Amino acid sequence: MKPKIYITRKIPQVIYDQFTEIADVRMWEEAEIPVPREILLQEVRAIDGLLCLLTETIDEEVIRQATKLKIISNMAVGFNNIDVSFAKKQGVIVTNTPGVLTETTADLTFALMMATARRIVEASDYLRNGEWKTWSPMQLTGRDIYGATLGIIGMGRIGQALARRAKGFKMNILYYNRARKLEVEKELGIEYCDFETLLRRSDFVSLLLPYSSEVHHLIGENEFKLMKETAILINTARGGIVDETALYHALKNGELWAAGLDVFESEPIDLESPLLSLPNVVTLPHIGSASEATRLKMAEIAANNIIQVLKGGQPLTPVKIK
């Protein structure tokens, strides 16, 4: 009897076809709508492999329902949507897709820096709304990136890729990380400093660290008071790292100059969120890894992890926890 696989979102046909060669496959056919919770709970009951996205909460309830489950393959770098500890207790392997989206996410992060600093979205709307009547010296003036100080919180693969881009703009680069990385400092010519010093000195603060309960609302009211009034916050990591209420007040009250956000505490963000009313916030719908090549590669890795395990082998990119 073939093993059974469930896929929680429509994936490229070429990836789907790889699965059908070795397994019976069912898939939620919607590309834009997450699988409803009640359907997910039904579908997992007899499966051996699950391919899911960050939009699905794979908690103890789901894992208990899936009594035959061998592997949960998350098509993402993050895995805070999965109860990894309980999966491990149940003997279920959890995998993710690290590395593949490094350069694409770094590109998007730098694009957000440029868009916020030079008020690109605001200026485009200004033109389209018929407000551009003449040229004036201080019209839509922004902030310089070239030669500015960039503070990176989280010096993993993406943080290092962002630093390489920033070097091309002659930026002064600070970083804060749980563990100091002396080889990276030497290679990239960057400076390690403590968390508060980074916030005080940086013109741009980029969040590129994994989400966990330990960093929930790492950036909040107190942190915004430490930052320069001319500073720009960029978040392409996870929404829960930033206290969005505190961010709104900091931006509204002039304690922070601008923010570029690709992620939010609740996704999709409520259209009534006060953040969306501010002209100095650039918002994106979690597209950090959204290049065609990167998303296809993510799907390939997620699929290959399941295929390897169901064939009796080892996963390519297992999530390791203590």
The residues that are catalytic are 238, 267, 286
H-helix or E-strand containing 201? helix 195-201
- Residue 108 identity: L
H-helix or E-strand containing 168? none
DSSP for residue 56: S
- Residue 315 identity: P
Query: Whole-angstrom Cα distance, residue 73 to residue 71?
Result: 6
97 Cβ contact partners less than 8 Å away, ≥ 6 residues apart: 74, 75, 76, 77, 297, 298, 301, 302, 317
List the one residue out of 40, 45, 10, 5 whose CA is nearest residue 21: 5
Cβ(167)–Cβ(149) below 8 Å: no
Cβ(58)–Cβ(50) below 8 Å: yes
Cβ(310)–Cβ(23) below 8 Å: yes
